[in-house]
Structure 1
Amino acid sequence: MADGWCAMSPAGTGAAATVSESLAETWSGRVGGYLKLRRSLGFDLAWHEHLLRQFTTDLTASGIAVLTVADAVAWAGALPAGQTHRPVTRATVRLTAIRGFATYLHSLDPVHEVPPRDVFGWRKTRPAPYIYTSEEIDALLAACTGLIRYDRRNLYPVLFGLIAATGLRLGEALGLGRDEVDLTDGILTITRGKSRDPRLVPLHPTATDALRDYADRIAPTRLNGQVSQTGGGGARFFTLPGGAPLPPCNVHHAFRQVTTSAGLRTEQVRPRIHDLRHTFAVNTLLGWYRDGLDVAARMPVLSTYLGHTHPANTYWYLTATPELMAHAAGRLATSQGGDLEGVSAS
């Protein structure tokens, strides 16, 4: 089939007229189920629907029941009529639409393949998140003890652990003022987030204990349970030994060291600090699904906690891993009485 995309007849003529009605209904149901799921999460996908209907009509015309990488890439990269040069943007947009659909199908049945991102030489601006296991996070924090300087061995396990436990952005963690870390009630006040509005982030008791231990070693005075520094109301919580703000470049350098030491970083896999935030969000959602909670009702809470201005940024996490996609699909099918086309609630 991969060699025949450009020569395919329009839908409804030629080969398409001989395709079994059941196969056409199967593909239509799969596309319908995918679109219903994504739209329930706040996405529009009007153009994606147009592309997917074209793609699956052509699959049907060729008698193909399973989505493969070869077929997806061949269809996305097919030359427009009358052209001899493939427009990279056009091919990438087409493949992006298929990738979302393929990820959905793969979560329901692994026989369907998911095409890679960069086939046509264009990288999506939002990279796929690296989701850490709990063992990998433990290994990452343990590797911090191998840092040469004593102050780094004490600083970075706390900083990286805080981000993993709260989902803070690196800039938010580094921007914390000492008077914004309430160690009595276990609450952070985030004033340097993307949103102009400050937000409160409650801490797990173990995170509060880790911050308190760190504060006892770096802060000479304390006021009302809040870390402070005499004459330094604007002092940061995480600093260099002399008290200056900790530069992000220092943090990224240390993170590369510890992820390499922990065996997480290779030529092919390069986990980022920001992936700790992604992992927090994904694990929170997975926990809600596994506990049988109403995830849709709790999404605004997670959105506020993470400091997202637009809820769609939080809903994106539902498509970040195949397991979450499967949970979301199953829950949506159940909520609609099992009538979600192309989706099994099992």
Structure 2
Amino acid sequence: MTTIRQHAQEYLAMRRRLGFQLTTFGQKLMSFVDYLERTGATTLTTDAALAWATSTERSTDQVHWSRRLMVVRIFARHLQALVPATEIPPDDALPHHYRRVTPHLFTPGELQAILTATDALRPAFRAGTWHHLIALLAVTGMRTSEACGLDRADVDLDDGVLTIRNSKFDKSRQVAVHPSTTTALRAYAALRDEHHPRTRSEAFFLNTRGTRVDAHNLSHSSVPLLQATGITTPAGRRRPRLHDLRHSFTVATLLTWYADGADVQARLPLLSTYLGHADPKSTYWYLSGSPELLALAATRLEHSLGERL
């Protein structure tokens, strides 16, 4: 008889073959399976799903609970076809309220403060790596994992094109960069080769050991750096993260388009492609992510409607 664990493993393997990465989803699903085994349950029930979803010692956030329950609900719909006794948690159990945390939008002054803070890092090569990595994130809006994942062969300094391979949603794309960016990257490449001339790593950005910069530790490692800048946030807001450079780039781009009188609606799909968004609606969110952008969009809409009346 096939166990729930085996069904879960087969389900995850099937979806990954279809191109889904399921990193967080897979972790949560297997955590639920572990819970079922610890409690001796042999059938997926709504009561068990609710008990697991709400058994989070570090959080009592109902949105967090509902997201955990959603993982079980999705799997249960699949499992019920194989195991009819499976119960699918109803949609109104821990109703899901979508909430996206407002990012910190770095000002030019704050970005300069971060880059200045990198210069104080030691040894000098570490300072150079952080400086150029953060600058690249700021001027391209790349995900931190994408920048760390760049290989030397992916960085075409002659044509000014970066190739991002197998990123989120298993997609690849090319990102054109400004000549000033290629000049900076060329300077970093010379610094890297000077300090690690015999490294076996194909990575473009290296740490002091001569291996690839670990994207998973980047957010943790950047905390002291961001704190050193003295950047503050209003009470109740999340502290700034390196990932917020992506948001800052996008908002700055949209603001520039509005200031230039460009057709933002027509250009948004291009920006979506540049950022590697799977769906343009992910880019549309930035219009509401910044009060200044929202005001500009509202003014543009009001003007458009006025012309039609």
Kindly report which structure 2 residues correspond to 1:1-346, keeping only aligned pairs within 5 A, or say none: 125-219=99-193, 235-265=202-232, 268=235, 270-337=239-306
Q: Is the 8 A contact 2:199 2:211 kept in 1?
A: no
**Cα distance change, pair 280–299 in 1 and its aligned pair in 2 (3 A):** same
Q: Which residue identity does 1:289 align to in structure 2? A: Y
Rounded to whole Å, the distance in 1 between the matches of 2:111 and 2:221 is 15
Q: Which residue identity does 1:293 align to in structure 2? A: A
Aligned length: 214
**Cα distance change, pair 331–267 in 1 and its aligned pair in 2 (3 A):** closer
How far does residue 280 in structure 1 lie from its aligned partner after superposition? 0.3
Q: Which residue identity does 1:259 align to in structure 2? A: L
**Cα distance change, pair 128–136 in 1 and its aligned pair in 2 (3 A):** same
Structure 1 ranges of 4+ moved more than 4 A: 122-125, 229-232, 265-269
**Cα distance change, pair 329–270 in 1 and its aligned pair in 2 (3 A):** same
CA RMSD of aligned residues (A): 2.7
Q: Which residue identity does 1:312 align to in structure 2? A: K
How far does residue 241 in structure 1 lie from its aligned partner after superposition? 2.8
C-alpha offsets along residues 47-73 of structure 1, whole Å, 9 cap, x if unaligned?
xxxxxxxxxxxxxxxxxxxxxxxxxxx
How far does residue 143 in structure 1 lie from its aligned partner after superposition? 0.5
Rounded to whole Å, the distance in 1 between the matches of 2:130 and 2:301 is 41
Q: Is the 8 A contact 2:142 2:246 kept in 1?
A: yes
| Greater relative contact order (Cα < 8 A, sep 6+) | 1
Q: Is the 8 A contact 1:188 1:202 kept in 2?
A: yes
Secondary structure of 1:244's partner? coil
User: Match of 2:6?
Assistant: none
Structure with max Cα Rg: 1
Q: TM-score, normalised by structure 2?
A: 0.63
Secondary structure of 2:122's partner? coil
Rounded to whole Å, the distance in 1 between the matches of 2:215 and 2:174 is 23
**Cα distance change, pair 312–213 in 1 and its aligned pair in 2 (3 A):** same
Q: Is the 8 A contact 1:175 1:192 kept in 2?
A: no
Q: Which residue identity does 1:241 align to in structure 2? A: T
How far does residue 244 in structure 1 lie from its aligned partner after superposition? 1.9
Secondary structure of 2:278's partner? coil
C-alpha offsets along residues 137-160 of structure 1, whole Å, 9 cap, x if unaligned?
001110011223222111101001
How far does residue 323 in structure 1 lie from its aligned partner after superposition? 1.0
**Cα distance change, pair 338–136 in 1 and its aligned pair in 2 (3 A):** same
Secondary structure of 1:201's partner? strand
Q: Which residue identity does 1:317 align to in structure 2? A: Y
What are the ranges of 5 or more consecutive residues in structure 2 without an aligned counterpart? Answer: 1-61, 64-95
Rounded to whole Å, the distance in 2 between the matches of 1:282 and 1:210 is 23
Q: Is the 8 A contact 2:199 2:210 kept in 1?
A: no
Q: TM-score, normalised by structure 1?
A: 0.57
Rounded to whole Å, the distance in 1 between the matches of 2:234 and 2:266 is 41
How far does residue 339 in structure 1 lie from its aligned partner after superposition? 6.6
Q: How much identity, in percent, do the aligned residues show?
A: 43
**Cα distance change, pair 261–187 in 1 and its aligned pair in 2 (3 A):** same
